[in-house]
Chains A and B, each alone.
Chain A
Amino acid sequence: EAGVAQSPRYKIIEKRQSVAFWCNPISGHATLYWYQQILGQGPKLLIQFQNNGVVDDSQLPKDRFSAERLKGVDSTLKIQPAKLEDSAVYLCASSLDLGIGELFFGEGSRLTVL
């Protein structure tokens, strides 16, 4: 079974530039999550989708971050404009459905903002 796919694995940009990350969850998984993992910290949930609807985006900095999952399958997370403090690993995860209690994570996209 193919796992959660993310791209790009690494991205270096200058502050105020924009960046987009892509995630393809495990086939059939209804729930998709984007987490931000800053060096030395645990992952923090940015946004949670159930199919193509948003379940929780309370911790997404909406002035600069946006995410979509238009067809209920793959998802894109965008940052525009980027700030230095956005340097982190962006993890995508999926689960079969809500309440299952097991998330499957991708390898992450490491962003460095200079």
Chain B
Amino acid sequence: AQSVTQLGSHVSVSEGALVLLRCNYSSSVPPYLFWYVQYPNQGLQLLLKYTTGATLVKGINGFEAEFKKSETSFHLTKPSAHMSDAAEYFCAVSESRGTDKLIFGTGTRLQVFP
């Protein structure tokens, strides 16, 4: 069965510093992988997704993630954090291709300090 592990429920960075949010997955089939962001009192919004092709995926707001099959990882990065990046971030894997049934991780709350 597919599963997602997000290391670190809370991550704090200074404004302008590198953001690194970790995600490891388990999947019996080639996965579809996603990062969603949730701002306070709002719904989840897709940041980026990997389905096939290029393993480095660029998303909105300057975020990117790299699919590493050998490490079963899909870590999210941003070179320079902004105060507006403070939110909760969820990594997800599609249970099986074509169904869009997403299995979410437990989330990582990102705090950005001035």
Chain A residues with CB under 8 Å of chain B are 3-4, 31, 33, 40-45, 48, 55-56, 91, 93, 95, 98-108
Q: In the complex, are the beta carbons of A98 and B98 less than 8 A apart?
A: yes
With beta carbons under 8 angstroms apart, the residue of B46, B98, B101, B106 that contacts A42 is B106
Q: Is B84 an interface residue (CB 8 A)?
A: no
Report whether A42 and B100 are in contact in the complex, using a CB–CB cutoff of 8 Å: no
B5 to chain A, nearest CB (A): 11
Residues of chain B touching chain A, judged by Cβ–Cβ distance below 8 Å, are: 4, 9, 32, 34, 36, 41-46, 49, 51, 90, 92, 94, 97-102, 104-107
Q: Is A99's CB under 8 angstroms from B100's CB?
A: yes
A101-B32, A101-B34, A101-B49 are known contacts. Are A43 and B44 too (CB-CB below 8 A)?
A: yes
**Would B49 and A43 count as touching, CB distance under 8 A?**
no
Query: Is A101 within 8 A of B101, CB to CB?
Result: no
Knowing that A45-B101, A56-B99, A107-B43 touch, tell me 7 more A-B residue pairs with CB under 8 angstroms.
A31-B100, A45-B102, A55-B99, A91-B44, A98-B99, A99-B97, A100-B100
Query: Assuming A42-B90, A102-B49, is B42 touching A107 (CB within 8 A)?
Result: yes
